[in-house]
Amino acid sequence: MKFFFPDSQDFVDDSFDFETETRSSMRVRQRDDRYPHEIFATPPYNGLLVSKAVVDGLGGGTGKYSAPQRHRFLRVGVREYFRLEATSLETMGDCGAFTYVREERPPYTAAEVADFYSDCGFHYGLSVDHVILGYNARLDNQFESLDLVPSDWRARQDMTFELAEAFLQYCQAKQKRFVPIGVAQGWSPQSYAHAVDVLQKLGFRYIAFGGFVPLKTLDILACLRAASAIRCPETVFHLLGITRCEHVQAFGDFGVVSFDSTSPLRKAFKDDRNNYYTDSGAYSAIRVPQVEANPELLRKITAGQVQQDEARRLEAACLHALTAFDRDETTIDETVTALHEYEQVFDPSADRSAVYRRVLKDRPWKHCPCEICLRLGIHVIIFRGAERNRRRGFHNLFVFNHQLQGHLDRRPGREPVFQGSER
């Protein structure tokens, strides 16, 4: 089972000083910053997934490429751009269908996408698809004479079939060297099975399932079960945007050999509670927002509700208390008090004291062997700025990869990653 990590410009500045919060004046972001596979001795994924739409700068996502980045990517190719030459990591390309999900048609032709994959040196490339915005398993039980499927859903599935056929024919005619992957879009178990049947008849033997992200696990398994029933022995599946690590054995039984997701990284700074992964669960990160970077706090300062100097004093007191706690120079009570005093300024309706007390009592970063935690110490669990938050996301990738291998490897006696005495 291979895990592909979707690229969204996630790298960190190796020169960043967490004590002074300064960085090298000589830093060049694309040249000097480091990707997860450059930080860990063993990369926390099997490959990278890159979306053409992101490279082209489409959509409103924060990870889209600038014009200079795009030109360099197209000039040097995917492996040199991500500095993969010395690794065995694979690369997969897709169209980034969610960036144009509201459009009537995808903005790309099959030939344009195939040429992009080929010219940039990808190992695998997905056909052009159009996401179906809905799911209703009950439609499989309708009377044959009564078609209740929305016309837009059928149109998007048919369009995805047409683009897949054109994509595969173009790849074969031009003798493209990457492995073509057909994309299955559907709205129910039987519609996904139908999509797999059509794609297999076209000639695809690697098929990716789109539209699964909002589905419950039982619905995903129902779709895979239906598709597996008509799967050719040599056909394998990829899951787009899905982790569900605890279900990888069941996914594998239905023919899934790969998946991709940004969830472990995004949870580090998008989730309200589960920001820091461990093998036994997750912890909330400790929020110490920058005064100058917190919009709500800045509004209060502008309105005269909060004194800027006082906010800065409380912010500095939190950082001092946390680093002192990490060196065993202060107590949990004193640290939680400092955090609560600042929290009453930037988020007075909240009280995370009990949550923070648990984090500080357990000190999970002290038990983690990953390169991020070994280097950062308590800074890895402080919710503050991109440099800390992304590194915590990288740590989550490390833990997720270990959990994935644990689910795949059923050998008895496997040791959890967070075991042993405190450093």
- Catalytic residue chosen out of the listed positions 56, 94, 129, 326: 94
How far separated are the first and last CA of the chain, in Å rounded? 33
Query: Is residue 94 annotated as a catalytic residue, yes or no?
Result: yes
Contact yes or no for 287/350 (Cβ under 8 A): no
Cα dihedral value 82, 83, 86, 92, nearest 10:
10
Phi and psi at 94, nearest 5°, equal -140, 180
**In terms of DSSP H, where are the helices of 287-384?**
295-302, 308-326, 332-346, 353-362, 371-376
Mention every residue, 6+ apart, whose C-beta is less than 8 A from residue 113: 52, 93, 95, 125, 127, 128, 167
Q: How many helices (H) and strands (E) does the chain have?
A: 17, 12
- Please state, as a whole number, how many other Cβ atoms lie within 10 Å of the Cβ of residue 290: 12
- Catalytic residue chosen out of the listed positions 7, 10, 56, 260: 260
Strands 286-287 and 382-383: parallel
Query: Is residue 326 annotated as a catalytic residue, yes or no?
Result: no
**In this structure, what DSSP letter does residue 385 have?**
H
Distance (Å, whole) CA 299 – CA 302: 5
Q: How many residues does the chain have?
A: 423
Active-site amino acid positions = 94, 260
